[in-house]
Structures are given as C-alpha cells and as structure tokens.
Amino acid sequence: MKIGKRHESMVLTLCALSLTVLGLLMIYSATNVMAGSSARYGMDPAFFLKRQLLFLVAGVSLAAFLSGVDYDFYRRNVWRILGGTFVLLLLVFVPGVQHTANGAARWINLRVVHFQPSELAKFVLLVFAAYAIDKKGENPKEGIKAFLPMLAVMGLYVVVILKEPDFGMAVVIMASFVAVIFLAGFPWKLLALGGAVAVAGAAALIAAKPYRVARLKAFLDPFSQAQAGGYQVVQSLIAFSNGGVLGTGVGAGKQKLFYLPEMHTDYIFSVIGEELGFAGVVLVGACYITIVWTGFRIARRARDPFGKYLALGFSTVIGMQAMMNMMVGLKMLPPKGMVLPFLSYGGSSLILHLAAIGVLLNVSRKGAEAFVAEDDRRRGRDRRARLSGNCPC
C-alpha cells in the first residue's frame, strides 16, 4: 500500500481510533457481567464503558491540542519535563497520595481518577533520547558521549519504576531505548554491551524476588500449575482455543465470566481472541503494524533529527508494548502486568497513548510544511535561473 505525505496523518488517526473503538466494545463485553453483579460498581453493567468513554474524550482532546503544538517545545523544555515527571514518579510512594492495587503502588490518587506516572515516563524518556541523539549528532562516532547520559537518566527512572514495582514497564522502556539508539546508528559493540548488562540485570531482578521466579516457572510449564501460578496463562490459552477462526461472537465469550483474571486490562487481547477469533487477532495486529510503519515514514520525512527520533521512539514504544502484551496472552512471554495500548481499560494508558499520536501528527505536519517550503524555494531558484538564462536544463 502506497501512502502519500498528506495521507499518513489520516492513516495514523484511523488506526488509533479503530483500536480505541474496538477497545470500548471489548471492555463492555468483558466487564458488563462483573460490573452488573457487583455493588462496588453500583450494579451498573456499563460502569467501565462510561469511564473509558470519558478517558477517550480527554485523550482525543489532548491529542488534538498536541497536534498543534510545535514539537520543538519538548526539546526546549526537556529538562523541565524530565524533572516534573520524576517528581510524579516519586509521589506514588507518598502515603495519602499513592494508590495501591495488587500489591503495587503505581498510581497517584487524584480522587476522581488514578494517574500512572510510569506511562508518562516511558514517553518522556524517549523525548530525552531524541534530544541527546540530536545534540550529539546522528550516527555518532563517539557514541559513548551520547550513550552514557541517556543510560544514566533511563537507569534512574527505571530504578524508581522497579521499586513500585512495575517490572513490565521497565522492560518496555529499556527495550524501546535500545531500539531507538540502534536505529540512530550507535556502535554495535556499545549496543551489545548495553544489551548484555540489561539481560544480566533482568536475570538478577527475577532471581531477587521469589514471586518472579515462581511466575517464570509457571510460564514454562503452566498446565502443571493450572490452579496456581499458571492459572492466568492457562485461562488465556483456553480463550484463544475457544475462539477458533471467527470467534464465538461479541458478548458470547465464556472465559470473561470470572475465569480470566484482569480481562479488561492485561488480558483484553485474550477476550478479543475468544470473541473475534483468529480474524480479530490478525486485524488488531495489522493495526499496530500500520501505526509503527506509518510512524517510521513520518520519522523519515521529519524536518530535523530531533523530530525523526521522536517519531521513531513514540511509534516504537507503542509497537513494543503492544507486541509484549500480545505475546503474554499467547504464552510467548511470562506475565508482566502491562496493558494493551488503545484497547485496555485505563485512563492513564489511553490518554497518554492518544497524546503520543497527537505528537506524531505534529511531527508529520511540520515535516510536510518543511518539504513544501523547500520545494517552493527550489522552484523559485529554478524560475530565477530560467529568467536569467543560466538554467542548466
């Protein structure tokens, strides 16, 4: 499929909104029985749907606003943005401010909603990576001068995120960071060293926590612990097995009926697999691939290196998190407790991913404007050359 410069923004917007609308449908399908039978949610089957609709309105509004903000704003204010985000990360440890769920303190309690700073941090760190690469120049021969500051800042953020704990988000951040510096042309030996350190660190973190070791063992042989550590994996695989090629139909899935844990957040992809089948899985995967591919095209046509690596980073992290979530549902990765962008229930995730789309739209627009301006200048030069009789044509 060949997409022109004017259509990239349309394709990106349509894919993001298609996933979001599908998410609304699947969230309602997954939660209407649970919410309708629980006094906690006011016996309202549409409780989660209504909240997600509010998050959608906020996200679309923010995306529309950011699409009109020149992305150079982030470069000029990168240190302020980094500092503000770090303060937000620290607030999750403050009693009375933090909100804890399932043993993790990842949210700030805003009374009406709960905000997850690590969702913001993953995008902010990629803004800093784009800034550092742009400052040192593309394909830096002395990559260590750009690599070490990025590694230090990312490491500080990751340590705090792991303390929450949020191992899955830490993995997404590190993987996206490595992908961006690889695309920037950093020396492969430097990347190999960074990768080796990351793998060793991940292994140490897993070994340090018995529940992570147990989760890994359950992942390797879930059916031997089908009623214990392997329960989530087994129930997810059953959902995909029930779905077949075309699925059971929206609302007809059985695994969401108190079998599949976190079916509206971490395992929404499994609900899609059961109710929409292999066809739905392929459609969702195609949307994410299109978002990443379009983001890369926007990066290629960006007006400057900062915009280029900003677009690469944002599209990469969306694709990376989507891929990891889907791989968890299909038993290709151990459970990590991460949501599926645009599809899963949650205000922080939906609003910030839509905001990222808004930033990508601005990079696309500014790139197109720069292209038109350069084309106009070239045409002007050619016209003046013809009038003066010095045209080489």
Strand partners, 114: 109
pTM: 0.91
* H, E, C per residue of the chain: CCCCHHHHHHHHHHHHHHHHHHHHHHHHHHHHHHHHCCHHHCCCCCHHHHHHHHHHHHHHHHHHHHCCCCCHHHHHCHHHHHHHHHHHHHHCCCCCCEEEECCEEEEEECCCCEECHHHHHHHHHHHHHHHHHHHHCCCCCCCHHHHHHHHHHHHHHHHHHHHCCCHHHHHHHHHHHHHHHHHCCCCHHHHHHHHHHHHHHHHHHHHHCHHHHHHHHHHHCHHHHCCCCCHHHHHHHHHHHHHCCCCCCCCCCCCCCCCCCCCCCCCHHHHHHHHCHHHHHHHHHHHHHHHHHHHHHHHHCCCCHHHHHHHHHHHHHHHHHHHHHHHHHCCCCCCCCCCCCCCCCCHHHHHHHHHHHHHHHHHHHHHHHHHHHHHHHHHHHHHHHHHHCCCCC
**Both tokens assigned to 65:** 């606003």
Beta-carbon-side half-sphere exposure of residue 24 (alpha carbons within 13 Å): 14
Which residue matches tokens 């690889």?
182
- Confidence at residue 135, expressed as pLDDT on a 0 to 100 scale: 82
Q: Could you list the pLDDT tens digit for every one of the 393 residues in the chain? A: 444 555 889 999 999 999 999 999 999 999 998 888 887 788 889 999 999 999 999 999 999 999 999 999 999 999 999 999 999 999 999 988 888 887 778 899 988 888 999 999 999 999 999 998 888 765 555 567 777 788 889 989 999 999 988 888 998 998 888 888 888 877 777 777 777 877 787 788 778 777 778 778 878 888 888 787 788 889 999 999 999 999 999 999 999 887 888 899 999 999 999 999 999 999 999 999 999 999 999 999 999 999 999 999 999 999 999 999 999 999 998 887 789 999 999 999 999 999 999 999 999 999 888 766 665 566 666 566 666 666 555
CA torsion 216-219-220-221 (nearest 10°) is 130
